[in-house]
Structure 1
Amino acid sequence: MSIKYPLRRKRNVGLNLLSGPLSPSVSNLTAIKYLNFGINTLSGQLPKELGTLPELIVLGIGPNNFSGPVPPELGNLSKLAELYMGTNSFSGPLPSELGNLTKLKTLNMDSSGVSGEIPSTFANLRNLESVWAFDIELTGRIPDFIGNWSNLKTLRFQGNSFEGSIPSSFSSLTNLTELRISDLSNGSSSSLAFIRNMKSLTTLELRNNKISDSIPSYIGDYQSLVHLDLSFNNLSGQIPSLLFNLSSLTHLFLGNNKLNGILPAEKSQFLLNIDVSYNNLSGSLPSWIGDKSLQLNLVANNFTLESSNSSALSHGMNCLQRNFPCYRGSPIYSSFAVNCGGREIKSYNDIVYERDNETLGPAKYYVTDKNSWGVSNVGVFSRSKSPMYNSSSTSRITNTQDIELFQTARISASSLRYYGLGLENGNYTVTLKFAEIADFDTTGWKSYGRRVFDIYVQGNRVEKDFDIKRVANGVLRTAVQRQYTAQVSENYLDIHLFWAGKGTCCIPNDDFEPTVRPPSLKTQKNKTGLIVGMVVGVGVVFLSVLAVFFIVRRRKRPQSDDDDGNLKDLST
């Protein structure tokens, strides 16, 4: 068999029926140059005999379910130029012998299961042009020697367990067109000095890396930059006006930093999505916020919204500024419930779930007419030609009497937050209900897909690497739930679904599909509250997810009072 494996992840239709272990007799293919076993259900250990194919140029072994260590014998493939091993169940470290593949140009090992530090022998891989190494437990510091991979054009380190800062040696990677590094943990913070000469970048994503710096003025020299994401860092200072005038830039995400000052008076007409939420920006708003083609997220800042320009904003932005001022100190609500992504419906036990079918995109918010709750969405789907920000399904969901609640959902590529506004202070019980509704089977290669995200309630992380399918014991379309206690002390509640770089990239398809949904509340005489919430699939390209959040206000009552706010009657 001789199959040419495409340079990009492209489905090869003819070889997707292979299952079981791969025979060592593969060693008989001594003349083969292009070998692709991807998009199958092969399992067991990868035969070491693959390392005896002297002419092999391209090797594709994922998606599959290979387990055990990666054979060090692969380091004998002296002519290998492309290695695709992503989406497997390997274990253990990367073999140091792979450092012998000095002709290697493409190395994709995302979601492969490998772990540990990058071997020092990888310093020899100086011909690398593309490296995908995300959603694997790579540890230690990012090696300095990567700065010597001078031919590198694409580098993706996301959802790893690296610690420390981004090496200053990266300043030598001047041929990069796509750089994505996110979710560095522990250790010292990074600066942006290393990007100074990366003038060929079209995509720069340095998200959630503890970067403490100001945005450099030379960012205006990046004339090819299309996507810039510096969110969830510690950036300070003002936003350079030149950044808003880059003619190539369409997506700008600067949220969750410490930026101050005002928004520039002018912007390029090509800049379509801007997120500056959760900063310290202030002053009046520029006239360009009235651009109908623009999506602009200004949540949690200190803007002056009395100006005439602010009338171009959607309703409720004043309620979503810093400290969420609406009804602050004079609450009028004790609960809310939302049908995320869908119309208003009533549950089997007469709970009314408010509609939540407003259109949200890459940088958008929505607040109800009553200012009782709001939602904020941020994120662009990587490499997606037809992004979707909501989802629907007619599949039957088990383990629930409210199937209809799981038939619509919001989709987010990065960060989705719901806010309860004007809430009476006190302790609340938050119950989150989820169901995985992605379109993939349970036995084929699509079953390898994983959606993983973190959950925060009132700023506290209550779930790390939450995987709905795993919690449901691998059963699709079945409802599961989690329960938390949250304290409302300033009349608002914050539920945050956050993608931290984990999860599979391109299964079941090449478009990310996360989902969200909050249900509604049953008004009771004792004002026991109920918030029903969202469903999300957060990440690069993940499976569709459905979730329902309940938040119930608990009050102290005599033991003889049956109506004590207990959740057992509300979450069957």
Structure 2
Amino acid sequence: MTAGFIFMFKDANFAIKCGGPARRSAEGILYEAENSTSLGPASYFMVSTEKWAVSNVGIFSDRSNPIYTENTLAQIRSTSTPELFQTSRMSPASLRYYGLGLENGNYTVSLLFAETIFSDRSTRTWKSLGRRVFDIYIQGTLQLKDFDISKEAGGVEIAVQKNFNATVTQNYLEIHLFWAGKGTCCIPVQGDYGPLISALSVASNFTPSVSGLPPTTQSRKNRTGLIVGVAVPVGVISIILLLSILYWKKKGSHVEDEEDLLGIGPRPNTYTYAELRTATGDFSPSNKLGEGGFGPVYKGTLNDGRIVAVKQLSVGSHQGKSQFIAEIATISAVQHRNLVKLYGCCIEGSRRLLVYEYLEHKSLDQALFGNDNLHLDWPTRFSICLGTARGLAYLHEESRPRIVHRDVKASNILLDADLSPKISDFGLAKLYDDKKTHISTRIAGTIGYLAPEYAMRGHLTEKADVFGFGVVCLEILSGRSNSDDSLDSERKYLLEWSWNLHENNQSLDLVDSTLEVFDENEAMRLIGVALLCTQASPMIRPPMSRVIAMLAGDIEVSTTTTKPSYLTDWDFKDITDSFLDGGTPSSAPSKSSSLLLDNKVNNPSDTNTNAVPSPINLTETMLHEIIGEGR
């Protein structure tokens, strides 16, 4: 059981007929009905007996009429109860079943499957090309990777049962079927993918104790105890009632907020505030890892020994609340080796915290620009670029629905013990419909990494992330931030300097001078990719899958001959200064250029910043409108 759930154990087994009416198997097991029509894109259902529950997240975006159950009249083979497999529960992304109030001990979990949608592979028709591939987790532990029902069963419409051992330690069991983006998506119709299950059963491997009887039986045996309870002095009862009223009154003020936060489904692991306070040493300053627009981040150690990073939402931050919801919803739905792992969250009244895996080497910007004496050699830098590209490619092209991160920058790329990159901070992420050319949205992100079409018009596509990735690549290559006021005017802005060197065939002068050895071919590929990714037109920027191929050397890097317009328009005479200060007109950057090239303006999350104020006289209100939700 995750922290936050409290169940009095009363059962030691249960069975569920997934997506259909109650059925009894040939072995005499009664499978309870799980045919709720209300289970949709982000919802849950709990049986009236509170023995089990089911939750689903995801939507079949390619289907005009999304469905979450499969019904078939096929005669399922290899089973004595074929009707048990004639209905199934489907999910486009994540399907979880929960056993509630179980007596602690060892259990056998049996999952029953039959592929009823695809044609048999032996038919060699286009419909037989369909593949359903998903992962199976029990109690949060991966049991089967890339599970294919028809492959495991030896064909379609054939029953297959998979048994697993599970240990219940806190009266709570979780069965998680997760689609990781593999298999097919459009056979025989659009939107046929994701996990599918016909039934499941959970049985104890021990003799249940007397205290495991249902509450009605237990209450009859404890009738004497109840009579004694009635005799408790009236004064004590009054005190308890008074305290209860005060508690529920206080809790009621936060019910709406908690419903908003927990209605995103599936419910993540939850921790109590007391647990996290103990884990972080009462949020000791010595455990503080950093602080951003969301709030401070602390290092902590959980009761099970895991070292975690605890991100704390600043109290009263309306912006932080929306980011909190987005981050839980997004990271809970995706899993990839180059994305940071979310362990869970804490929601207690106004206290909201996120619990992540702890990454020893912190953020990429600290490694590149900080003072932690972490030297990144060339192979490591190139590997970080490639790993970051893979993480973004998964978000853009493999996850369903597609996700635009919106804040790709060095401080949002964390490094694990092996210096492998993991993209973090999904507070600004947007889900993206394949059928839309772009999303028009309020501008959010960090100046210096914003794509022109997004910074100026709010037009958001995955190409906005591609632009930010290009800037990060140049920072990794050069070992400097995208703007540095301490440098001379020719080198102050990294993008402008990169293009000047490129036009003069001196691109390798970009390479960090602290690198004594580097691969020139890889460096030139990286520079070429970065210049492509930072083109003014999003149509010219390559998708991340092509970026990976170019970095890996599988395909040639496309030639970049056109200097972006936001750089060519940089020099002009800005007469506004002469009106403002009575002086002569001077050369100054344009408004659009300063938006794109100033580094991390009004961004408290970045500790290593040499922000350059725009020469344009912007009021604080105007600047806030331009930056939007930038952190």
Query: Which range, TM-score by smaller chain?
Result: 0.3 to 0.5
Task: Give the TM-score taking structure 1 as reference length.
Answer: 0.34
Bigger share in strand = 1
**Structure having the higher Rg:** 2
Task: Give the TM-score taking structure 2 as reference length.
Answer: 0.31
Bigger share in helix = 2
Q: Which fold has the larger relative contact order, with Cα–Cα distance below 8 Å and residues 6 or more apart in sequence?
A: 2
